[in-house]
A and B are shown apart, each in its own frame.
Chain A
């Protein structure tokens, strides 16, 4: 089926073309891969990614700050409740004593004390569960306090307040810890959060007690917002500073970073306060309004810019530059151009060109069958194409191996599939060009139809690229995707390969079928047609 002499003749006639195209394409590919692998093209991408990550981090930080601020104020509130409760307790004791009169017996007194203590336990029982104290202990200490109250009311009150408020931070710690655990944090994280909450609560309690000792003290949360802000800011500052020092950052830098966080914290709280004021026109802040204010105060950059812009930026950050340049641009466009020129010229020269010029007469005036001629020429075309892509594959694998590790996003199996896909695309195109060459007796028709449609395909792929998903949406013109439906190269879809989907399998199958069918049509047509030799 294959004539050796004719095959040799085709080799001799086409080797310069083959060598030029192969060397040029291989060089291009090696340069593209090596340059891309060594340049830090990921820098811009990474910084974009970082911007969004930082924005998210800042939002979480602000949330923490606002939570802490709320916690401080609620601790103040809790303390106030305790103080009010303690006062109420002594008041009820006084009332009970007054009802009996000064002639009360010891039994009666102790009954009253027990009753008051029971009431107190009911009121402060919640706090007990978190502190180490049992009910009996609390009852005992209250009874003792009531005893002291009989001759030194101030001392008893102060003592009661300090005993009970001391339990509040522990309760808050446990609540915070539990909440963290519910949110899915680790035990360690939860404990840390609990400790922070406890510290903040202790400060809040102390703050309240300090402020309430003033003569003209009337409880209002507004009295504590300033100190809450300061305390939270300080806490954030300390937290970051300590963490940075622990991570080995030098003191100066740690301070700067801590201050930056403090500034963010301060801003977040003041923003929160402003939003709270805005929402609570009636002076009362519901939980819903609080949540709204918090949402407003914790908005990050990505929340502030329009959705489309942030999507575009995020997409740009996530764009696979290697996949775009090597897959979509090199293997589907730039790297195909020269092999296409080779295939168009060679396929035409193997049959139609020789029939047109008449030189085919020398082969066909020997006892060589037409079938042998067409099969030999087809074999040469496919063989030269295969050799070209075998070299290209070797070059690509070596290049990827050289740049490997430099966060080069394309692995060996992907690059091998790229080569296979490009080869199958060229196989289909070679089949088509060969068919044209076998059908037409005039080189001009074979060239204009075989070559014309091939180049048309390539141009459509270039235009279609601007409508395809590999181009960032900011640059994409979806309507341009229409061109992809006009190109045979569309069956070679590098995004399939990169995304790990197996859709490339059937697409490659179609390319293979196109190549085989066109070759068979060409061979049969060449057998039967008139040759003007």
Chain B
């Protein structure tokens, strides 16, 4: 069951022009998995989610949810998908209670016990006027509306925005609880820490393309660890460098080295260090944020160049066009003069 695919995105492309949109996205979300989706603003997270919800028609490629086409079978898919939209705007109704009741009717939910338990957990006052709700309250109301039908698949577009830190904790608890119930959760976010806590896998999207999909478990329990070691004198420093440890970073000024070492060789390292004058030793923690930032940093450099080039070519083309026109004009005038 673990490998059954809940959401399948294949070569999904939606081109909005000027480099905006999503391009050739391919990924699968397995059943019972919590799949994170991270990226900068405008990188295509919401566009991808809208395709999964069947709100947008792909230019090419396709999206399947439990084997059903997301565009053609959109209404059917909704019978096992719950959704929390990224942009919170409620229908023109007076209070949260009325809205949730109306939503329950639309969803065909008759038993409000689960919804009420969510309301209690999130400490939401539903009797408040929808228009006068704070951002956090609106977000909580949207979360309750998305979760209350207890659907198998949950699609959450930045569900924690506007929540205070305590509420975020509560919300992440709810996510973990849902996960333990075996639900598939697809969730976009800009907060690495919350994805790290909840997700099995996290995809990084940049400019409409998936750059990397990271397994959170392997990041948390890596096969290699990274240590930063500073020596008190240059002699030890130089001597250590000659050993066969893999040095990632070398800072001569401080007699500092950063090494990457397999878990199995840690004892060996400490045995070696017994004979050296070590000022300090610390482990450099690996996490999702660092992982992606490293990738982004390398990607960006390339990206920036390319976009600059793009700009340049655009500008050049324009200039060329203009000069061409000028030439034509001049030629015409000359002809006229003749």
Contact = CB atoms under 8 A, between A and B. Distances in A.
Interface string A515-533: 0000000000000101111
A366 B90 contact: no
A41 interface: no
A366 B92 contact: no
Contacts of A57: none
Contacts of A532: 50, 55-56
B107 A533 contact: no
Contact of A533 (B50, B79, B149): B50
Contact of B55 (A3, A12, A14, A531): A531
Contact of B57 (A6, A349, A530): A530
A201 to B, nearest CB: 94
Contacts of B78: 364-368
A430 to B, nearest CB: 19
A13 interface: yes
A361 interface: yes
Contact of A361 (B83, B107, B108): B83
B91 A359 contact: yes
B102 A354 contact: no
A530 B93 CA distance: 25
Contacts of A367: 75-76, 78-79, 107-108
Contacts of A12: 92-94, 98
Contact of A365 (B57, B81, B93): B81
Interface in A103-159: none
A113 B321 CA distance: 133
Contact of B75 (A5, A8, A359, A368): A368
Interface residues of A, number: 29
Nearest to A5: B105
A6 B93 CA distance: 11
B142 to A, nearest CB: 8
B106 A366 contact: yes
Interface in B61-94: 74-76, 78-79, 81-83, 85, 87-94
B106 A363 contact: yes
A281 B157 CA distance: 110
A54 interface: no
Given A530-B57, A532-B55, A368 B106 contact: yes
Contacts of A9: 91, 93, 102
Contact of A354 (B55, B85, B91): B91
A530 B105 contact: no
A362 B56 contact: no
A392 B50 CA distance: 44
A5 B108 CA distance: 10
Given A365-B53, A365-B78, A368-B75, A359 B105 contact: no
B56 A531 contact: yes
B91 A13 contact: yes
Contact of B146 (A4, A359, A365): A365
Interface in B33-51: 50
Given A9-B91, A12-B93, A362 B75 contact: no
B102 A8 contact: yes
Interface in B284-324: none
A343 to B, nearest CB: 16
Contacts of A5: 102, 105-106
A379 interface: no
Contact of B90 (A349, A362, A365, A533): A362
A20 interface: no
A357 interface: yes
A452 interface: no
A454 B76 CA distance: 38
Contacts, number: 88
A509 interface: no
A305 B211 CA distance: 93
Contact of B87 (A8, A358, A368): A358
B145 interface: yes
B106 A359 contact: no
A369 interface: yes
| Candidate in A9, A357, A368 with the most chain B CB atoms within 10 angstroms | A9
B120 to A, nearest CB: 22
B190 interface: no
A362 B145 contact: yes
Contacts of A362: 85, 90-91, 99, 103, 106, 145
A4 B81 contact: no
Given A365-B83, A366-B78, A368-B75, A530 B92 contact: no
A14 B94 CA distance: 12
A205 B94 CA distance: 103
Contacts of B74: 364, 370
A530 B56 CA distance: 4
Nearest to A3: B106
A452 B75 CA distance: 34
A38 to B, nearest CB: 42
A5 B91 CA distance: 12
Interface in A457-479: none
Contacts of A358: 85, 87-89
A29 B106 CA distance: 40
A368 B105 CA distance: 11
A514 to B, nearest CB: 28
A528 B81 CA distance: 21
Contacts of A4: 105
Contacts of B82: 365
A4 B91 CA distance: 15
Contacts of B89: 357-359
Contacts of A364: 53, 55, 74, 78
A367 B74 CA distance: 8
| Residue among A14, A359, A533 with the highest chain B CB neighbour number at 10 A | A533
A5 B145 CA distance: 15
Contacts of B88: 358
Contacts of A8: 102, 105
A361 B102 CA distance: 14
Given A9-B93, A349-B92, A533-B53, A365 B102 contact: no
A533 B74 CA distance: 14
Nearest to B77: A367
Contacts of A530: 55-57
Contacts of B145: 362
A532 B76 CA distance: 20
Interface string B260-277: 000000000000000000
Interface string A477-503: 000000000000000000000000000
Contacts of B85: 358, 361-362, 365, 533
Contacts of B102: 5, 8-9
A349 B93 CA distance: 12
The list of the 6 closest CB pairs from A to B, nearest first, reads: A13-B92, A365-B83, A5-B105, A357-B89, A358-B89, A358-B87
27 contacts: A5-B106, A12-B92, A12-B98, A13-B91, A13-B92, A349-B92, A357-B89, A358-B85, A358-B87, A359-B92, A361-B87, A362-B90, A362-B99, A365-B78, A365-B81, A365-B146, A367-B75, A368-B75, A368-B106, A369-B75, A370-B74, A370-B75, A528-B57, A530-B57, A532-B56, A533-B55, A533-B85
Given A357-B89, A369-B75, A533-B85, 16 more contacts: A5-B102, A5-B106, A8-B102, A12-B93, A13-B91, A13-B92, A13-B93, A349-B92, A354-B91, A359-B91, A363-B91, A366-B149, A530-B55, A530-B56, A530-B57, A531-B50
